[in-house]
Each structure stands twice: as C-alpha cells, then as structure tokens.
Amino acid sequence: MRRRRSLRIYSRVSTQNYLRGYHASFASGYLAGKQAAAASFHQPFEGTSIIIPTFNQLKYLRSCIESIKKYTQQPYELIIIDNGSKDGTAAYLKSLKGRVRYKIFKVNLGFAGGVNQGLMMAKGTSIVILNNDTLLTKDWLSNLLTCLSSDPSIGLVGPVTNNLSNDQKIAVNYKTTREMQRFASSYNRSNPERWRRSKVIFGFCLLLRRDVLKRVGYLDEGYVNGTCEDVDYYLRIRLLGLDLVIAEDTFIHHYGSVTMRSFRDASRHNHVYFREKWGDWQQIGRLETVMDSAQPDENRKASDFYPTHILVKGTDSNVYWVEHGIRFAVRGGEPAGPAVRLPQLDLWNWPIGADISAESLLRKIAALSTPIPDLTEGGLAQTEDGEMYQYRLGKLHRIVTKQACTAWNFQQRYIKPISHDEKNRYAEGLPIIAPPIVKAGNI
C-alpha cells in the first residue's frame, strides 16, 4: 500500500517536472522563433511575391486565388490589398487563415495605391503585379521567370491574353474555363524565340525583379483608381535603359476591366495627369530618344532623373539637401523653404553625406534665388520658347514639363533667360521628371 502510494507521488512529481520542462522548452523555442522571424522580417526570400489589389468582385478574386494555388509550382507568397470592398471580400480574406498576407482598407486607395501597399509588404526576390480578374494557367510563372532571368537588361515581363487593347491580345476560340485551361496547357511551352521586346506592356500581369523595384520606385498615386499608371511605370523603367518583354510563350486569361467599369471619370482625370506629367506625344518622343540610346547600367536609378540642389524629406521629420547625388541632413534650425516629399526608396538611392547647417543651406538657396550673369551649379535657365533646364556639371538637364518644375519647388528660384545659341553650347544631360506621388505614410 505504502509502495503504491509512493509510486503515485513519484508519478505525479514526474508529470509536473515533465510539464514544467515542456512549457519552459516551448516558451524558449517560441521566443527563439519569434526573434529569428523578427530578424529576418526585411530579408527577401527566394520566391515570388504575387500582389493583387482588389475592389469588390469577390467572385473573380476567389477564382483568381484558386487558379494561383492550382497552377503555381514555384515558391511564392500571395499578398491581397482590399481597397474598401463591400461585398464580403474582407471576411473571405480572414477565412483563408494565414494562407495569404493581406491588408484591408476602408477606403479605395486606387490601383496604384493598392499595388504600392503590396510592394511595401513584398519579400520575394521577384514580384508579380496582377489584376484580380485573371485566371492563371499551367507553367505561367515558371515561363515568365525563365524569360526575366535570361537577361539582366530585361526590366518587365508580361504574358499574352485573350482580352486587352494592345498587341498582347491573341485570338482564342475557347468557350469555357475548362477549354481555356486545355488551350493554355498546350500553348504555354517555354521558348526564347517567342520572347518579343516591346515599347508598350500593359499592367494586368507584370513581373519584375526586386532590384528593379529598388531602382525605379513605386507606382505614382497621382493616378486615381486605374488607367495610365502602368504606362507611367514602364516609361520610368525604360528610362533606366531596361527592356520590356512580352512573353508570347505564356498565356493567362483576362476577363478585362471588371473592376474599372465604374471609373470613367478616373480615366479622364488620369489622361490629363499623364499629359501634365510627361507632356504631349512629341515630348514623349524626345524621351524615347533617351530610352532607345540608354545602355544597360545597373547603377542607373530613378533619382538620376531628379534635379540637384533640392530640399527633400521622407516619412519622418528629417529634411535633406540633395546636391550632386548626395543627401545631407539639415541640422540646427528650420530649413529654408518647403521640402519635396519622396518615398523612402527614392531617398535611399542617394548616399548620405555629412550634415549641413540650416544657416549654410539658407545661403545656398538665397544664391540660387538671386539674378546672376552666369549659370552656376543647380541654377535654372529658360529658352525663348519656354523650355526650362537645370545646369549641372557642365550640362543642361531639360525639365520635361511645367508640372516637373512645380513638383521640385523651383517657382521661387531665379531663372536665367538664355538663347538657343547659348543653350546649344552645352551638352544635354538626362532629362528631369516629376517624382511619383505616394500617399501612404508607412513606407
């Protein structure tokens, strides 16, 4: 009897020791895992981030996600940005229980705003920007990745489809989803001879590398809801000397403008904004010359098309003076004049230099605002026909539009009138474009 009681006590003590050891080990392992996850949070993974902005149209989103899961064999993460849907999209995303990463917004950020939120979350070494009204097909991602990785001069890759307004559209005769998938299974055979460089590529499905994202930055949220932001983005990528490639060996289904049918006014606004930012087609033709003559250069980035001698800021309270590709933190007082707000990706493309005092900065800006007989570094000039330039390191850099001039707060600077003969004495440097508008605070 006494022995049986001793055994029960021993068993109870052993169990308690076991549980204490288990819980201690669990807590230790959980903490170690949490710390490891936090340490690697900003590290990219060898896979693809698939970003889908969505607004209502739950039926299409659900079908799109199901097709991704069924036909994507490569490592990927799925990021959904809900732009204020009212049709149960938020509840659906929550029901997926960790199989996707998502953000749910109460308001519509627009296509560009939604994509930018996804880009900020993305961890993949490659990134797909995808419409919610698409159906993915056999080998779609492997084919596009093969094309993208074939040449470092490729900046964007897109597939062909059944419904689009450019030459990415091909003729199809299927009637059902099952027939479409049979067609795609036969069609999607990786073949470099079917990769075609193009000057235009539309944004229903875009693949790019992370290093290209770091160089070109985010989409411009000056475009509301949708249309034109993909054109803006590929123009900026082409300015880097990178190519657009249509992978004609890869087909995905596109229902077409499902989300955008209610946004006719947005389309009109976006076309006006596009023209104000880039100019007319003659002006864009001049940029085409820069694009076509650009040699592949992995060091070229969006900030190379920004001016010098400017005040900028990111998402925190720091203000920087940018001069000849280096940013200097302004210290010791209020900066002289308003600073242009830029995304952090753009700021990081300028290496940091020593601090600059507010007093010294005031003198620099005063000098640029005072009429002088000769062009000086960072000074502005204007020809008789109204074209504006900034002088930098012996070259004149054309400011492509009035909007670009306004965006960089050049209104208060002195603008020296010059003749065409005077202008032609200088070599012409890279053009100066307006920076993208990015409204989100957490970047």
User: For residue 442, what pLDDT is reported?
Assistant: 44
Give the Cα-Cα-Cα angle 49, 50, 51 (nearest 5 degrees). Answer: 110
User: For residue 293, what pLDDT is reported?
Assistant: 78
Question: What is the CATH number assigned to the segment(s) 45-291?
Answer: 3.90.550.10
User: For residue 261, what pLDDT is reported?
Assistant: 47
CA distances, 331 to each of 323, 355, 390 (Å) = 16, 7, 26
d(CA 112, CA 431): 24
Q: Which residue has the tokens 């990415």?
A: 168
pLDDT along the chain (443 residues), means of 10: 57 64 65 52 85 95 97 97 93 90 93 95 97 97 98 97 92 96 98 96 96 96 88 94 97 79 68 94 86 79 96 90 95 82 93 94 92 92 95 96 95 93 94 92 46
Q: What is the pTM of this model?
A: 0.87
Phi-psi category of 324—alpha, beta or left, where left has phi over 0 and alpha has psi -120 to 50? left
Do residues 181 and 188 touch, judged by C-beta distance below 8 A? no
d(CA 102, CA 79): 5
User: For residue 224, what pLDDT is reported?
Assistant: 86
d(CA 285, CA 249): 30
User: For residue 232, what pLDDT is reported?
Assistant: 95
User: For residue 443, what pLDDT is reported?
Assistant: 40
Do residues 327 and 396 touch, judged by C-beta distance below 8 A? no
> By C-alpha distance, which of 297, 336, 283 is closest to 211?
297
For residue 138, how many C-alpha atoms fall within 13 Å in the half-sphere facing its CB? 14
List the domain boundaries for the chain. 45-291, 302-428
Q: Is the dihedral of CA 334, 380, 387, 237 positive or negative?
A: negative
